[in-house]
Amino acid sequence: MTKTLKWGLLSTARINRSLIPPLQVSKRNHLLAVASRSQETADAYAKEKKIERAYGSYESLLADPDIDVIYNPLPNHLHAEWTVKAVEAGKHVLCEKPLALRVEEVDAIRSAAHKHGRVVAEAFMYRHHPQTLKVLEIVRSGSLGTLKLIRGSFSFILSREGDVRLSPEMGGGSIWDVGCYPISYARAVLGEEPLEVFGWQVTGPTGIDETFVGQMRFREDVHVQFDSSFVIPFHSFMEIVGSEGTLNIPRPFKPGVNEKIYLTRGDKTETITVKGQELYIGEVEDMADAILLGRDALVSLDDSRANVAVINALLESARTGKPVKTDSENP
């Protein structure tokens, strides 16, 4: 009989609403508990979401011996701290992106995961979707020829006052919240790390990057251009350009059940329909595969470390006005 993994939610964050449905329908995963900073809040949330156990502190959730996996959707600056605490408590962790804000924090997570034999994965949900897998298949088939240029964008208007994503102390900023997606996507497509990056940012009233525009230079003269923003209306796409064709992905980061991507070669454009799945189910089942079957998590800690390194290099470039050589090699 296959073991059912019991999950606990580390806080009542809004993003939980995306993870709860797949946990409730999965045959190998079961949502058992939720924690908040007050018992009253936890009880109300558990009752509303039909969750069996409610804890009035994060520590109490980590102390529950029945919990196998923790989902960590805390503000960015708390991701590394509480992921390490969860691992030290013997839990596996699915942590929201970004996994951490510094490569040293990823190293601490990796060290703890290795020491305690736990699985830790960053929750880049798009990576598991059939559309993304199809894009990678097309690129690797050679249909586009030699890759030359990748462009991507992810923006939306963030108008909610007091949102943690507007706080520099909490790891706020558009590049950490949405710019990380086109960066991650381009790296996944190319299967390597940039040699050099350059970035510009428009700083908002709180000191975070309201808008970020970046460039990345890879080997063989492949270039990536991307932008992210909290003040531009919703805008999202990826475009992969090769010597023989162009692949356009209109909904790369939040694809639905059925999506269309467009492959243009010469004067002909082919519409490719991808039968997808519920967006967040992939990362939940990937955790089950890694924990129960011993498979490698799709988003490895090496991958997460490299993404954090690239983002920090881009932020350094924006601060100094100079190109920055990347330090995304693993120690």
Domain with residue 234: its CATH number is 3.30.360.10
Task: Say if 58 falls within a structural domain.
Answer: yes
CA 305 from chain center: how many Å? 12
Nearest to 153 by CA among 252, 291, 259: 252
Same domain? For 158 and 271 the reply is yes
Task: Say if 29 falls within a structural domain.
Answer: yes
Beta strands in the chain (DSSP E): 5-10, 29-35, 53-55, 69-72, 92-96, 120-123, 147-155, 196-203, 209-218, 222-229, 235-242, 246-249, 258-265, 268-275, 324-325
Q: What is d(CA 19, CA 330) in angstroms, rounded to the nearest whole number?
A: 30
pLDDT of residue 233: 97
Same domain? For 174 and 259 the reply is yes
Collapsing DSSP to helix, strand or coil, 97 comes out as: coil
pLDDT of residue 189: 98
Task: Say if 290 falls within a structural domain.
Answer: no
Same domain? For 69 and 174 the reply is no
Same domain? For 143 and 262 the reply is yes
Task: Say if 295 falls within a structural domain.
Answer: no
Same domain? For 95 and 165 the reply is no
Same domain? For 130 and 261 the reply is yes
pLDDT of residue 132: 98
Task: Say if 204 falls within a structural domain.
Answer: yes
Domain with residue 34: its CATH number is 3.40.50.720
Same domain? For 225 and 146 the reply is yes
Tell me which of 123, 152, 170 is where a domain ends: 123
pLDDT of residue 327: 60
Nearest to 180 by CA among 247, 227, 231: 227
Task: Say if 302 falls within a structural domain.
Answer: no
Task: Say if 48 falls within a structural domain.
Answer: yes
Same domain? For 177 and 72 the reply is no
Same domain? For 16 and 99 the reply is yes
Tell me which of 65, 90, 123 is where a domain ends: 123
Number of domains observed in the structure of the chain: 2
Residue pLDDT tens, the chain, 331 long: 568 999 999 999 999 999 999 999 999 999 999 999 999 999 999 999 999 999 999 999 999 999 999 999 999 999 999 999 999 999 999 999 999 999 999 999 999 999 999 999 999 999 999 999 999 999 999 999 999 999 999 999 999 888 999 999 999 999 999 999 999 999 999 999 999 999 999 999 999 999 999 999 999 999 999 999 999 999 999 999 999 999 999 999 999 898 999 999 999 999 999 998 999 999 999 999 999 999 999 999 999 999 999 999 999 999 999 999 986 444 4
Boundaries of domain holding 79: 5-123
Same domain? For 171 and 317 the reply is yes
Task: Say if 297 falls within a structural domain.
Answer: no
Tell me which of 72, 91, 123 is where a domain ends: 123
DSSP 173-237: SHIIIIIHHHHHHHHHHHTS--SEEEEEEEE-TTSSEEEEEEEEEEGGGEEEEEEEESSS--EEE
Residues whose CB is less than 8 angstroms from the CB of residue 274 and which lie 6 or more positions away in sequence, other chains included: 130, 131, 134, 255, 258, 259, 260, 261
Q: Is the pTM here over 0.85, yes or no? A: yes
Which residue matches tokens 């994060």? 58
pLDDT of residue 13: 95
Same domain? For 147 and 274 the reply is yes
Same domain? For 107 and 168 the reply is no
